[in-house]
A and B are shown apart, each in its own frame.
Chain A
């Protein structure tokens, strides 16, 4: 069985050079183009999700005001300038669905798995480029179906992104349970197919197509994260698929898998004998791994970016892999912590609580390893690095509240309050989003061959960072006060009225945060054509993707694929002349680079005692420098 990589190379030699617009940009089978397709579709979906959230945020801040533009924009859903309560629920549902599945699952791991797996492993392309293309087209179709459901006469699905029965199982339960819910299920079925095809491809590529010398323990942590993510996807999405099949039967064929003792207008429904909790079990068996499907790629990107920009080896490489694997295994046995107060057996609640709290261990390992990597590093504050550090911050502040919510007794008070909203928006939503931004800033030169504007990047980061904390941090206090999530208006209840002013603050922060994204969009799209040409290796990084030419080739490397001789984190090695040694440099090659002598040294800070103070002042001055956006 000769190297499949070389077989591949021959394969490409035969059918190249005849790219039409259609094969190059639309039905592309090149992993780099598919990555861009995923990214741009994801950005569009993210904008939609963000706009939906702004509409319901305005409703929450100004529940009694009349906004004539609401009727202009939303038509019958904003009649008389007031948001329709049913559409409010639809907005919340579709915002959640789009952000969780379409942006942070598909766009995040779709973009970076596709871009980085072949490039960082030294492969010409994915194992099966055709299935890779299908994966994108299923994703696009499901996105379109989901967007179409917004325009349905009876409104989009509105039972929350978790689509619990009976709201989702009975088409008459609420307006959104009709056609909107059906389209939701159709869209998700396509989405599951897309994610399955993508994940199978990532796993097969990572296992079979590593270049010579790329041992599993020499893979960058990004690849490890994508690997674990893909495994989680393969094992957990089918369970959602099964749950969706049963849900479809409940909706359309008169079955009662999830329905029991339902009364509609004092009349008992004939469908009975099922259990709505069954759906929750099946849903959360997907749903919890899904949280890590979202988060782990972001953590992987962060590991790589932090190590590169600290000019230090990642602290605890094997511990990082171990914690990724630990999180993956644990994520399958903790789903019950979403269901503590649904009427689940309380004994099971205990079991799930203990297992849930165990997840704090691998998460803490990751956090401390990030901090230890940053510690006394030669920090390069690129925009990507800032977002990566932002992720660590959000991961800590959101993760701590997870310990509260994982406790079955505390969850009685906190369940379905704004405390939960604050928790998952920080730890999963914003943190993963920051990971995605970090990845985009860091690998933009690789994707488009152009540089992004750094100053705009800093502006984007600080505004977003401030906005995220201003939006989500106050929600903790609302949640502790018992303010429930998904409520249409807070003026109807005496004890909640005191929070209306806080809601105004949150909404204004959210609007500010969205404005900041315009800077990003300008920076992103503007520089695709106008940007400065990217150098070969702009961040002096070790991984293989920076050895490929800036111009995209079908097949990634013009000649032979580079072989790998070392792990990806050889930064600031005291015996080396440069502070980084790319993975494709062999030990003999290293000596050649040094001109035959090993005496030339770039001392790392750890070696010289007096370097400590200078490093600290340097860090301080740099921090000051770009608080004022004047980086030297």
Chain B
């Protein structure tokens, strides 16, 4: 109805009694929450950027992230993180498919795609756990770095204990905060899946809840794109 009014008289959308953005309050709140969360992540990445720029040396990502599961002592930089990125983008696609199915009111398809999304989220978390374990095995952790002789392996130039430490701190904090978002996303997805299976949204007549949670899930994917670039590539 709001859409029809729009086509008749475009100014009327601000006249009150309408939804000027063509979006329900819930969707607006989700969007503005994500905007707010974008500021949180930006601040964290900014802190990372500022600390890295002010550091004379920094570990070389190609030398730090080169392990792959089940392949001991592999020297394949970026391969594993490539798999992680692929998984997260895949799960974003299945989420869009769930939303699309929701628009058609196809309950079973929504359930199917939500399941795939949850699976993708769990797979990503598993990969991240492996990545953390691997780095921890190398000696990186909050407040600890590899010993001085091993440290050379991770630097292209002169190694530095202090900045290896900064790298580890920032990596674990920021990917940890992102992982926490993925985890809460998975939990919310499970709740939505249960509601879908119970038919709550079918009775409500629309699957807007799936759409809202979808927004959150894509946002988590979006953040990963930036984390990936700034930790693994640059």
Contacts and interface: CB of A to CB of B under 8 A. Distances in A.
Interface of A: 1-5, 121-122, 127-128, 131, 196, 200-201, 203-205, 207-216, 218, 234-239, 241-243, 245-246, 249, 253-257, 271-275, 278, 281-282, 285, 564
A205 B37 contact: no
A134 to B, nearest CB: 12
Interface of B: 1-3, 14-22, 24-26, 28-29, 32-33, 35-37, 39-41, 43-44, 46-47, 50-51, 54-55, 142-144, 162-163, 165-166, 169-170, 173, 177
B33 A196 contact: yes
A242 B44 contact: yes
Given A128-B26, A203-B28, A278-B47, A213 B55 contact: no
Contacts of B3: 1
B47 A2 contact: no
Given A1-B1, A238-B39, A254-B142, A215 B16 contact: yes
B15 A237 contact: no
Contact of A257 (B1, B2, B51, B55): B51
A173 B54 CA distance: 25
Nearest to B55: A273
Contacts, number: 141
A242 B26 CA distance: 25
Given A275-B50, A275-B54, A208 B24 contact: yes
Contact of B29 (A204, A218, A236, A281): A204
B50 A278 contact: yes
Contact of A1 (B19, B36, B39, B41): B19
Given A3-B17, A128-B26, A196-B33, 4 more contacts: A127-B29, A255-B142, A273-B55, A282-B43
A124 to B, nearest CB: 13
Nearest to B12: A215
Nearest to B44: A242
A208 B40 contact: no
15 contacts: A128-B25, A203-B28, A207-B19, A207-B28, A208-B19, A208-B21, A208-B25, A211-B17, A234-B32, A249-B142, A253-B142, A255-B173, A257-B169, A273-B162, A278-B50
Contact of B173 (A4, A246, A272, A275): A246
A215 B15 contact: yes
A118 B178 CA distance: 36
A249 B169 contact: yes
A243 B25 contact: no
Contact of A282 (B16, B17, B47): B47
B150 to A, nearest CB: 18
A127 B173 contact: no
Contacts of B39: 235-236, 238-239, 242
Contact of A203 (B32, B43, B142, B173): B32
